[in-house]
């Protein structure tokens, strides 16, 4: 079997690391494509080094751009690779533009697709990620779901149950296998702090919304560490908010953190404020209360387990929930089923056991 695996952004790197090791253990031939959607050292190369991900066989250098430009460039370049070499399966992870582009390029050339992290839904089609994940799930032949809710979402959408596999959250495998490597980064000077991340365009592109988020965070009685994404830093400057943040004594902007440094920062935070999907799950694993700067989430299990609260983007609401969270203790919720160190093993096992499903059927939607 020959598998093509595609990554493009930080969440992909984290999730693909254990999968590639599992391919190697099972003598499965694979090639790795890095689309270059995240291309700077802090958001790309250092993750490969820390997570021991092999050098990609193909680097596409797609870079930034609008959703259409990014997706189109990636699709064109992956199509060329698929036409040059035969692959039995294309593995994609998550919900970024690179994932959608790879899935579309593959199925149009009749190459089956396996989607890792299938079935997540926010039910908000204004989110680019929601569009990506819905479309990728629709064209995939093997759907590897992280939670029971994700499985039910796919069944409710009419996907054939024989193609859906509950395997757990592969991000957790990466986290658990790297816990012993974490050490305190030099950027963290405080003993107690709140961690803040914000990168979604709907938050960072709106000056009123971004200021509201920062005002809510600044109400913290503890220092707020803000490892700011380069795009967010640029937006702060463009919107005239950088100077205001620097004058706010409670918020300290620091450089983006590597994977291991960020996990240390998250695991030792009293509370995390974030608009990231993955951080919601990582906070659950670290038993750190999470306040999500959104009005919805595809990571429903974090709400169900009491590890996460949707606080929206209004300053007063953020501040109120933050004060309440800081008065509490670290979370005591359980870890969800199959969020362990064997997710990649289950994925590869299903790929090997279900070779009959690695084909593109004429119709895999259940008809009434």
Calpha distance 54→285 (Å, rounded): 26
Q: What is the pLDDT of residue 362?
A: 65
Query: Is residue 39 very low, low, confident or very high in pLDDT (cuts 50, 70, 90)?
Result: low
- Single out the residue of 122, 102, 53, 36 nearest to residue 294, CA to CA: 122
Q: What is the pLDDT of residue 77?
A: 97
Query: Is residue 345 very low, low, confident or very high in pLDDT (cuts 50, 70, 90)?
Result: very high
Calpha distance 338→357 (Å, rounded): 23
Q: What are the residue numbers of the active site?
A: 199
* SS3 call for 93: strand
Q: What is the pLDDT of residue 330?
A: 85
Calpha distance 259→86 (Å, rounded): 34
Percent of the chain beyond pLDDT 70? 96
Q: What is the DSSP string of 239-260?
A: TT-HHHHHH-TTEEEEPPPPHH
Question: Which is higher by pLDDT, 238 or 289?
Answer: 289
- Single out the residue of 58, 8, 66 nearest to residue 37, CA to CA: 8
Look at residue 247 and tell me whether its pLDDT is greater than 90.
no
Minimum mean pLDDT among 168-177, 178-187, 245-254: which range?
Answer: 245-254
Q: CB neighbours of 350 closer than 8 A, spacing ≥ 6?
A: 142, 144, 165, 167
Minimum mean pLDDT among 72-86, 97-111, 240-254, 319-333: which range?
Answer: 240-254
Look at residue 233 and tell me whether its pLDDT is greater than 70.
yes
Query: Is residue 120 very low, low, confident or very high in pLDDT (cuts 50, 70, 90)?
Result: very high
Calpha distance 12→14 (Å, rounded): 5
What's the whole-number average pLDDT of the chain? 93
How many C-beta atoms lie closer than 10 Å to residue 208's C-beta? Answer: 9
Q: What is the pLDDT of residue 115?
A: 98
The fold of 180-327 is: Rossmann fold (3.40.50)
What are residue 210's DSSP bridge partners? none
Give ∠ CA 320-326-229 in degrees, rounded to 5.
80
How many C-beta atoms lie closer than 10 Å to residue 262's C-beta? Answer: 19
pTM (global) more than 0.85: yes
Question: Which is higher by pLDDT, 303 or 233?
Answer: 303
Query: H or E stretch including 3?
Result: strand 2-7
Look at residue 64 and tell me whether its pLDDT is greater than 80.
no
> What totals of helices (H) and strands (E) does the chain contain, helices first?
16, 13
Look at residue 98 and tell me whether its pLDDT is greater than 80.
yes
Whether the domain at 2-169+339-357 and the domain at 180-327 fall into the same CATH topology: yes
Q: What is the pLDDT of residue 243?
A: 86
The fold of 2-169+339-357 is: Rossmann fold (3.40.50)
Look at residue 277 and tell me whether its pLDDT is greater than 90.
yes
Domain ranges of the chain: 2-169+339-357, 180-327
289 with 333: CB under 8 angstroms?
Answer: no
Q: What is the pLDDT of residue 205?
A: 86
What is the 8-class DSSP label of residue 1?
Answer: -
Look at residue 367 and tell me whether its pLDDT is greater than 70.
no
């Amino acid at each position: 079997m020959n598998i093509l695996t595609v990554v493009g952004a930080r969440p992909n790197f984290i999730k693909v690391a254990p999968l590639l090791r599992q391919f190697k253990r099972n003598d499965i031939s694979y090639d790795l494509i890095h689309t270059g959607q995240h291309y700077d050292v802090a958001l790309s190369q250092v993750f490969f080094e820390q997570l021991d991900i092999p050098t990609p066989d193909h680097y596409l250098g797609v870079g930034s751009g609008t959703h259409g430009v990014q997706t189109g460039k990636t699709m064109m370049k992956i199509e060329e690779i698929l036409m040059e070499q035969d692959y039995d399966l294309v593995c994609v992870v998550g919900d970024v533009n690179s994932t959608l582009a790879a899935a579309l390029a593959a199925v149009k050339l009749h190459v089956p697709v396996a989607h890792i992290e299938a079935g997540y839904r926010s039910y908000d089609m204004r989110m680019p990620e929601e569009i990506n994940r819905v479309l990728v799930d629709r064209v995939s032949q093997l759907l590897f779901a992280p939670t029971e809710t994700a499985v039910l979402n796919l069944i409710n959408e009419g996907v054939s149950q024989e193609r859906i596999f509950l395997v757990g959250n592969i991000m957790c495998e990466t986290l658990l296998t790297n816990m012993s490597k974490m050490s305190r980064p030099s950027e963290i000077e405080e003993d107690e702090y709140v961690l803040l991340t914000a990168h979604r365009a709907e938050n960072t592109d709106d000056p009123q919304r971004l200021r509201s988020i920062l005002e809510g965070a600044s109400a913290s009685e503890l220092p707020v560490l803000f490892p700011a994404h380069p795009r967010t830093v640029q937006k702060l400057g463009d919107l005239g908010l950088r100077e205001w943040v620097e004058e706010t004594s409670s918020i300290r902007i620091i450089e983006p953190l590597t994977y291991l440094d960020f996990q240390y920062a998250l695991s030792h935070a009293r509370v995390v404020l974030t608009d990231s999907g993955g951080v919601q799950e990582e906070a659950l694993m670290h038993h750190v209360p999470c306040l999500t700067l959104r009005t919805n989430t595809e990571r429903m299990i974090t709400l169900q387990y009491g590890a996460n609260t949707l606080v929206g983007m209004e300053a007063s609401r953020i501040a109120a929930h933050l004060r309440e969270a800081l008065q509490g203790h670290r979370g005591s919720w359980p870890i969800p089923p199959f969020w362990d160190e064997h997710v990649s093993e289950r994925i590869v096992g299903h790929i090997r056991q279900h070779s009959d499903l690695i084909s593109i059927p004429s119709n895999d939607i259940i008809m009434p």
